[in-house]
Chain A
Amino acid sequence: MTTDTLTPSSAAAGVDYGITTRDLNLWYAKFQALKGITVNIQKGIITSLIGPSGCGKTTLLRCFNRVNERYGYVTTKGEIKLLGKNIYDEDVSLIELRKSVGMVFQRPNPLPLSVYENVVFGLRIHDDKGLKKSDRDDAVEKALTEVGLWNDLKDRLDEKAITLQLEQQQKLCIARLLPLKPEIILMDEPCSALDVSGTRAIEELMFALKGRYTIVIVTHNMAQARRSSDECIFMLMGELVEHSRTTDLFITPKNRKTAEYIEGRYG
């Protein structure tokens, strides 16, 4: 397979890519979890990542901020470029990389701190010149407004984040990334712990954030992928099977396996 067949036709020359990989392979010890992934993810849009359980979606996502390397037994081969910069270059600082690539998890994981401290956590740890309290307050208001929590929480900033509703927690986890001005936001099944209205709220939030951030979302929910993403990637057994505009992928899948999966024949 050449790169062209894997890339949506719309992504012709001149398109800005947020994430590109070339022949990316990853092993957990002896087990190969990613096999020759070559993909171009366009900047500023929402790309969804679908595929059956264990196909390597989370693994791929975690490659983009090099968090997989925290496990000593992981080997990665291949090239990953974010905004044109190879993230395996010598001069890449993991700290700066992770600052620019935010991640949202399946289970909301607010830190055991207050709402306020959760939002400014990133600022604090990257703060080398003593940010003023007013700057921090501004950052909190801005981030919480952006995720639509400000009105609900502006009087409860000192409460433990863990006491919030799950939906609010998940929004808070997104808000936590924003003060660091990330380029890319990776979401790993961000709605699977939420109910219908929570899911809708997060999806609306994704739409609101789209454009400014490149968003990649892993989901098991076909309907969600269809509703919320511009492009869609289908993976199977560690391989990338199909990548195209979401509407095309769901209406006229090129690959038989894709068709079978979205029809729900295996999952």
Chain B
Amino acid sequence: MSVPASSTAGLFTETPFIRKKRRTERLAQCLFGAMALAMVIPLLLILGYLVFKAAPLLSWDFLTTNPTNGMRKGGIWSALLGTVYLVVISLCISAPIGVLAAVYLNEYAKDNWFTRIVNLSVVNLAGVPSIVHALFGLGAFVLFARLDRSILAASLTLAIMTMPVIIASTKEALASVPVSFREACWNVGATRWQTIKAIVLPNSISGILTGVILQVSRTAGETAPIMFTGAVFYRNIPEGNVFAYGIKDQCMALSMHLYTVTTQVTNAPEALPYAIAVTLLGTVLLVNATAIVFRVWLRNRKKW
């Protein structure tokens, strides 16, 4: 039986209602896309602007020589190295403690008042402004523990600041490992530690690392917590020696140096603050990029 042409004419064709829906759909897509783009543009603008302004000063020598002439000449070596020290030492303190604490909270802790208090402290500690950490560090490490103003005291202060965030991100990474894996382990009689070692950690390590490495930029960028606890305006150290600082020394730091040259130093070359900022950003981006590559590599090895 042949169907008359007229009866199929209106079949599957667009009604005004559908047309309207499609318009809304396109509008929504454009809007969301524009917002996503809006995230990228400032980043590119900032980066481009900074690099452009910093160009006259950027060179290898800038990185490897100490500031001179009241910080108007020379490079930023002592500040760069100071920042590296602060970041590395503070993460060496906060990462192990934070990760282990998170493993306890996520894998061992029963839901009781103690756990709740710990969790509550973590959340609250994560929300404390960095200037408060600074004052705590000053009181606890510099004065009470008699570390004086030193790299160690500053690193400890930074560690206290980053630890709760590391705990939170690690807990999240651990929680993303399916419970069924843990059940499978328990049901063949694995202890919790065996389960964690064999299954939970290998499958959450990339998430844990991401959380830790995100704290690098935070540590490198903060000025307040180190200002009272170990960072100084100016310090001369041997150039080209990466072990130039001792743990009890005071140090310069990029974030603080940037603050100093913009607010305290008159007649500094215009490019100087920009060059410092580019170095700071560059260091952080370098670390993040390494982390991403490492994570992709780890992720490719895991499949479930």
Residues A72 and B112 in contact, CB atoms below 8 Å apart: yes
- Indicate whether A99 sits within 8 Å of B183 (C-beta atoms), given known contacts A125-B198, A162-B303: no
A110 and B180 alpha carbons, distance in the complex (Å): 9
A87 within 8 A of B: no
A107 and B112 alpha carbons, distance in the complex (Å): 31
Interface residues of B (CB under 8 A from A): 110-112, 178, 180-181, 183-191, 194, 198-199, 202-203, 302-304
* Residues of B with C-beta under 8 A to A110: 184
* Residues of A with C-beta under 8 A to B194: 125
* Residues of A with C-beta under 8 A to B184: 105, 109-111, 173, 176
Interface size class of A (residues with CB under 8 A): 20 to 34
- Indicate whether A112 sits within 8 Å of B188 (C-beta atoms), given known contacts A67-B183, A125-B198: no
A34 and B57 alpha carbons, distance in the complex (Å): 76
* Residues of A with C-beta under 8 A to B188: 98-99, 102, 121-122, 125, 176-177, 180
A160 and B303 alpha carbons, distance in the complex (Å): 8
Residues B198 and A95 in contact, CB atoms below 8 Å apart: no
Q: Across the interface, name the chain B residue whose C-beta is closest to A182.
A: B188
Q: Across the interface, name the chain A residue whose C-beta is closest to B109.
A: A72
A92 to chain B, nearest CB (A): 12
* Residues of B with C-beta under 8 A to A160: 303
Q: List 15 A-B contacts (CB under 8 A).
A: A72-B110, A72-B112, A73-B111, A95-B190, A105-B180, A109-B180, A109-B183, A112-B203, A112-B304, A124-B198, A125-B185, A125-B189, A125-B194, A173-B184, A180-B189
A77 within 8 A of B: no
Pick the residue among A96, A98, A162 that contacts B187 (CB under 8 A).
Answer: A98
**Given known contacts A103-B187, A176-B188, what 7 new A-B pairs fall within 8 Å (CB)?**
A94-B189, A95-B190, A99-B189, A111-B199, A122-B188, A125-B188, A180-B188
A110 to chain B, nearest CB (A): 8
- The digit string for A99-117, where 1 denotes a CB below 8 A from any CB of B, is 1001101010111100000
Residues A112 and B189 in contact, CB atoms below 8 Å apart: no
A-B contact count (CB 8 A): 72
A125 and B191 alpha carbons, distance in the complex (Å): 8
Pick the residue among B110, B181, B183, B186 that contacts A112 (CB under 8 A).
Answer: B181
A65 within 8 A of B: yes
A105 and B179 alpha carbons, distance in the complex (Å): 12
* Residues of A with C-beta under 8 A to B185: 111, 121, 125
List 8 tightest A-B contacts by C-beta distance, closest first. A99-B189, A122-B188, A98-B189, A109-B180, A112-B304, A103-B187, A95-B189, A72-B110
A143 to chain B, nearest CB (A): 12
A107 and B110 alpha carbons, distance in the complex (Å): 26
Residues B198 and A121 in contact, CB atoms below 8 Å apart: yes
A156 within 8 A of B: no
A70 within 8 A of B: yes
A70 and B180 alpha carbons, distance in the complex (Å): 13
- The digit string for A54-74, where 1 denotes a CB below 8 A from any CB of B, is 000000000001010010110
A227 within 8 A of B: no
- Indicate whether A105 sits within 8 Å of B183 (C-beta atoms), given known contacts A112-B303, A125-B198: yes
A241 to chain B, nearest CB (A): 28
Q: Across the interface, name the chain A residue whose C-beta is closest to B184.
A: A109
A97 to chain B, nearest CB (A): 8
A126 and B190 alpha carbons, distance in the complex (Å): 8
Residues A67 and B199 in contact, CB atoms below 8 Å apart: no
A19 and B185 alpha carbons, distance in the complex (Å): 23
Residues B186 and A72 in contact, CB atoms below 8 Å apart: no
